[in-house]
Amino acid sequence: MTSFDPPLLLSAPRATNEDIEAVVAAMRSGWLAPAGPDLWAFEEEVAQYCGVSSAVGLSSGTSAIHLGLKYLGVAPGDCVLLPTATFGATAFAVTYLGAEPVFLDIDDSWNLDPELIERVVTDLRKQRRRVAAVIPVDLYGTLANYEVLVPQLEDLGIPMLEDAAEALGAHCPRGAAGSMGQAGVLSFNGNKLITTSGGGMLLTRDEQMAKKVRYWSTQSREDEPWYEHKEVGYNYRLSNLLAALGRSQLRRVDEEVCARRRIREWYRSRLSHLAGVAVQGEPMDGNSNAWLTVIRICEDRYPGGPSRVREYLAKDSIETRPVWKPLHQQPVFESATAFLTGAADALFREGLCLPSGTQMTETDIDRVCSRIESALGK
Ligand SMILES: *Cc1c(COP(=O)(O)O)cnc(C)c1O
């Protein structure tokens, strides 16, 4: 390796000439106001892509989780179940409503373990706690086990909000990521599969929910000439300019998924000879969007492996990142209730996210993999 090799980032955002022209066209059209035709069209296009009837463009995935949970009736003192292996935002939104996140461990797909749910719900109900919602997360673009989760939560009478922030473009036999629950959430943050630089969306088949969330997100303004408010509002709407960028990016979402899946396959075949190093798989009957390629480095075979690899690759300007630190280990959630099997803790010790942006070539992948081999002494 020479010192001239360019840096390789985890998931660098990409803007094509078409993206730039789309934003400029939106500016020229005079729709600089938050709402506008690109926003309405973006909502329709995403809803159609994900197979739901309604979508609400919001300022972030986090605000979409917040208002989605609010509509589902999450209130102070309630419990909301979610996997411990996720980004903090999933749980932060729960706390905005005065509710308490309860962390559950993960299954083989690295997502919410359905086998824990019934016991946890029974346990909490015995303590007279109300379980107001469950938030499965589709980690790194792999869908949770909805074949089990959907009927299970229906039986328990608990609404589901799907955090599909990382999973746009993934599918399972039940449908597209974001369409599994009463509400689904997408994120268009800078490092996600498609981006509006910052933004999110709430997906639903419930027109009333879409209407209400849109109303809350625009400061709960009533239909009066003056600003009339009957409820507390939020300034959470996605802007028309950013929606123009989102529409342009959405046009190549399938291409993007193909490219990411190809990158993951390159990694898989290039690393397959390394015993004790495995690329995140996916259920046989689903299609992950392969947002990030994540490897697991067996701790018995390579003690301290992930940190060693991360530091070694950083010297060569290759960005890698540990998997999400389990939320029950986060200082801010120190006193939260958690039901654990040790699976998420083990994943945190062994997992590492590799550069997965679609600009990467097979030569780049080869460079990353050679460095991984060196770091592990191979
Ligand atoms: C990115 C992300 C979010 C938050 O989305 P923002 O648009 O950044 O607010 C929520 N949950 C998960 C799992 C995410 O990866």
Per-residue pLDDT reduced to its tens digit, 206-238: 999 999 999 999 999 999 999 999 999 999 999
Closest approach atom of ligand 1 to CA 191: 1
Q: Distance (Å, rounded) from C-alpha 94 to C-alpha 89? A: 9
Q: Distance, CA 131 to ligand 1 centroid (Å)?
A: 23
- pLDDT average, residue stretch 85-112: 97
Please choose from 189, 237, 288, 294 the residue to mutate so as to test ligand 1's pocket, defined by most ligand atoms within 8 A of CB. Answer: 189
* Ramachandran angles phi, psi of 352, nearest 5°: -150, 130
Alpha carbon distance 204, 201 (integer Å): 10
Predicted confidence band at 31 (pLDDT cuts at 50, 70, 90)?
A: confident
161 within ligand 1 shell (Cβ under 6 A): no
Q: Name beta bridge partners: 348.
A: none
Reported as a single tens digit per residue, the pLDDT across 307-342 is 999 999 999 999 999 999 999 999 999 999 999 999
Does the beta carbon of 189 lie inside 6 Å of ligand 1? Answer: yes
Mind listing the pLDDT tens digit for each residue in 124-148?
Answer: 999 999 999 999 999 999 999 999 9
Longest dimension (CA), the chain: 71
> Ligand 1: which atom is nearest the Cα of residue 198?
7
Ligand 1 geometric centre to CA of 285 (Å): 25
pLDDT average, residue stretch 40-57: 98
Q: Which of 66, 187, 288 has most ligand 1 atoms within 8 Å of its beta carbon, as the pocket-test mutant?
A: 187
Q: Evaluate whether 252 touches 48 at the Cβ level (below 8 Å).
A: no
Ligand 1 within 6 A of CB of 163: yes
Residue 62 beta carbon below 6 angstroms from any ligand 1 atom: yes
Q: What is the pLDDT of residue 273?
A: 94
* Contacts of residue 169, Cβ cutoff 8 Å, sequence gap at least 6: 141, 176, 177, 193, 253, 254, 256, 257, 289
Q: What is the band of 252 on the pLDDT scale with cuts at 50, 70, 90?
A: very high
- Distance separating alpha carbons of residues 134 and 132, to the nearest angstrom: 7
Mean pLDDT of 167-195: 96
Q: Is the pLDDT of residue 282 over 80?
A: no
Count Cβ atoms below 10 Å from residue 162 Cβ, excluding itself: 28
Ligand 1 atom 2, closest CA: 165
pLDDT of residue 3: 54
What's the rounded Cα separation, in Å, for the pair 339 and 163?
Answer: 20
Q: What is the chain's mean pLDDT, rounded? A: 95
Q: Is 89 in the pocket of ligand 1 (CB under 6 A)?
A: yes
Which atom in ligand 1 lies closest to the alpha carbon of residue 65? Answer: 10
pLDDT value, residue 32: 79
Q: Residue 157 C-alpha to ligand 1 middle, in angstroms?
A: 26
Q: Which residues contact 3 (CB under 8 A, 6 or more apart)?
A: none
